[in-house]
C-alpha cells in the first residue's frame, strides 16, 4: 500500500502542495497516511513512506519535524504485523538519502520493526533491481538482519 494523493490531489503535479507551506503539506501528507492505516488493514507493506520528499520544491524538510507522526505510523504498522518498503528510486531521483530516510529506518528498527522489503520502483526494464545490492549492504550496516518477500500476504524472510 502506498499513498500517492491526498483529497484527490496528486503530488507529482503539485496540486496537493499548491497554496500550502512546506510544513503544512509535509504534515498533512504523513497525517493522511496515518489515517489510512487506521482504517485499512488489507496490505502487507507500506511503500513510499516519505515519497512527498520527491515532490518538495522547497528542498529538504527535516525528519525531526515530522517524526512524531512518523512514529505513530511505524507503531501502527508494527502493531498490525505489517512491514515497510525501502524504495531504491531515491537513487534515480537524486535524493540525498534512502526512501524512507535512514533516520526513519533506524527508528523502525528501534521500535522492533522487522518486516522490510526492498523495491526498485521499476517502470522501465533498465530500472529492475536498481541499487538493491547496495541497499542490502546499507540495511545490514544499520542492524537489520533480514528482508522479506511475500507469498499470499505472508512474509518470507531472507538473510541480508
CATH code assigned at 16: 3.20.20.140
Look up the domain containing 41 and give its range.
5-159
pLDDT tens digits in sequence order for the chain, 160 residues long: 888 889 899 999 999 999 999 999 999 999 999 999 999 999 999 998 998 998 999 999 999 999 999 999 999 999 999 999 998 888 777 778 988 999 999 999 999 999 999 987 766 666 666 677 888 999 999 999 999 999 999 999 999 9
Q: Using CA atoms of 93, 84, 109, 118 in order, give the dihedral in degrees to the nearest 10.
A: -60
Q: Using a CB cutoff of 8 Å and minimum separation of 24, what contacts does 148-157 make? A: 148/45, 148/83, 148/115, 148/116, 148/117, 149/117, 150/44, 150/45, 150/117, 153/44, 155/44, 155/83, 155/115
Number of domains in the chain: 1
Q: Provide the pairing of β-strand 146-151 with 154-159.
A: antiparallel
Amino acid at each position: 500500500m502506498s499513498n500517492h494523493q491526498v483529497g484527490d490531489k496528486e503530488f507529482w503535479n503539485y496540486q496537493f502542495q499548491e497554496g500550502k507551506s512546506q510544513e503544512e503539506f509535509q504534515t498533512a501528507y504523513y497525517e493522511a497516511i496515518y489515517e489510512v492505516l487506521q482504517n485499512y488493514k488489507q496490505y502487507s507493506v507500506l511503500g513510499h513512506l516519505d515519497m512527498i520528499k520527491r515532490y518538495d520544491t522547497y528542498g529538504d524538510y527535516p525528519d525531526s519535524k515530522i517524526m512524531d507522526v512518523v512514529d505513530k505510523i511505524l507503531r501502527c504498522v508494527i502493531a498490525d504485523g505489517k512491514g515497510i518498503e525501502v524504495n531504491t528510486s531515491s537513487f534515480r531521483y537524486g535524493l540525498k538519502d534512502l526512501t524512507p530516510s535512514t533516520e526513519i529506518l533506524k527508528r523502525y528498527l528501534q521500535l522492533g520493526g522487522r518486516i522490510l522489503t526492498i523495491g526498485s520502483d521499476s517502470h522501465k526494464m533498465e530500472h529492475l533491481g536498481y541499487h538493491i545490492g547496495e541497499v542490502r549492504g546499507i540495511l545490514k550496516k544499520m542492524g537489520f538482519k533480514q528482508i522479506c518477500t511475500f507469498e499470499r500476504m505472508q512474509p518470507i524472510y531472507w538473510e541480508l
